């Protein structure tokens, strides 16, 4: 309840005041969205159902309504989009859980009491935060960094062969083989996972620092082990931030500069000037991402524990 009647006067409850404060925080974003984003979104939706040409005389776009022609081309004619979309979704399903586990593990380590903890956090977070988005783009588009990566791969051929032998030994037929294959996929992409975990680590660390120490003290007095404290106290208390990090990780993965779909959309729009076709791909991609986020929120929110 946001309102309460007292002495014939209607006043806000504590929950109502919190809601008002939340709306006030959202107000600048809503004003900016309605002022600068709403019209471009509507125009892009028109482009999905139009053949778009650049009109030099009008200094703008000339749109000719063609119905579902662009969408038919996306789903039924283009030979790459469906395959790329499926591959990117499958990679996301593999990578995002690994990012969440890795970031929670690192946050637990950085939350421990040890000497020079602040210095260690600064040393760890500075390159991680810088590499979260900018460095990934530089790596993808920088020829020097690509050459260095190629040299490293060539220098690790022996190590790769040893890893391949180990993979052949451990990965056999059956249900266990699928799990081990997943583990090897994650190990081979640990660098990308670490690069994409900076913000998630900070979010988890902030959640860990809000847990009252008295809860752990009471659990230790009752004889709880560290493992039991993690599953009974730490994990439930940070579960709301797991939902936040999952949504952030999904969005961050789908807008990465090395994403195949993003690269295809940019090529169609910038190189070939196919604005209608590229906009149709972008909207299909956007709707696919929103469905995945909605499914993730629906599944995870059922297990989220909110501490009051």
Task: Tell how strand 9-12 and strand 50-55 pair up.
Answer: unpaired
The two structure tokens encoding residue 82:
């469906």
The two structure tokens encoding residue 21:
């404060």
Angle formed by the axes of helices 143-155 and 134-141, nearest 10°: 80
pLDDT along the chain (308 residues), means of 10: 69 79 88 86 86 74 82 86 87 87 87 76 65 52 54 50 55 57 70 78 86 85 84 85 88 80 85 85 90 88 71
Angstrom distance (rounded) from CA 184 to CA 167: 7
Q: Residue 170's pLDDT is what?
A: 58
Beta-strand ranges (E) seen in the chain are 3-6, 9-12, 50-55, 60-65
Angstrom distance (rounded) from CA 166 to CA 174: 17
**Which residues fall within 8 angstroms of residue 161, CB to CB, at 6 or more apart?**
none
Residue ranges of domains in the chain, CATH in brackets: 1-41 (no CATH), 78-132+196-308 (1.10.3720.10), 138-184 (no CATH)
Beta-strand ranges (E) seen in 59-204 are 60-65
* pTM assigned to the model: 0.73
**3-state helix, strand and coil shares in percent for the chain, rounded to the nearest 5:** 75, 5, 20
């Amino acid at each position: 309840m946001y309102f309460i009647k007292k002495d014939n006067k209607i006043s806000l409850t504590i929950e109502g005041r919190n809601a008002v404060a939340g709306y006030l925080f959202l107000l600048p974003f809503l004003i900016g969205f309605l002022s600068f984003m709403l019209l471009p979104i509507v125009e892009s939706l028109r482009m999905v159902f139009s053949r778009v040409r650049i009109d030099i005389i009008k200094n703008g776009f000339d749109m000719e309504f063609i119905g579902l022609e662009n969408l038919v081309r996306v789903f039924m004619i283009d030979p790459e989009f469906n395959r790329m979309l499926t591959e990117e979704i499958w990679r996301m399903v593999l990578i995002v859980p690994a990012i969440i586990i890795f970031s929670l593990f690192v946050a637990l380590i950085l939350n421990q009491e040890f000497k020079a903890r602040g210095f260690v956090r600064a040393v760890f977070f500075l390159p991680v935060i810088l590499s979260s988005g900018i460095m990934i783009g530089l790596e993808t588009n920088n020829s020097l960094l690509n050459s260095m990566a190629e040299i490293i791969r060539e220098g690790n051929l022996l190590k790769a062969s040893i890893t391949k032998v180990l993979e052949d030994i451990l990965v056999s037929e059956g249900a266990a083989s699928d799990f081990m294959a997943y583990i090897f996929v994650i190990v081979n992409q640990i660098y990308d996972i670490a690069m994409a975990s900076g913000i998630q680590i900070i979010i988890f660390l902030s959640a860990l620092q809000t847990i009252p120490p008295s809860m752990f003290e009471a659990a230790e007095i009752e004889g709880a082990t560290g493992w039991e404290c993690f599953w009974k106290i730490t994990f439930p208390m940070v579960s709301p931030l797991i939902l936040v990090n999952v949504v952030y990780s999904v969005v961050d993965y789908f807008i990465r500069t090395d994403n195949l779909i993003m690269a295809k959309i940019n090529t169609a729009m910038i190189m070939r000037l196919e604005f209608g076709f590229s906009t149709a791909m972008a909207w299909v991609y956007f709707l696919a991402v929103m469905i995945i986020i909605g499914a993730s929120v629906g599944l995870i929110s059922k297990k989220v524990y909110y501490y009051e």
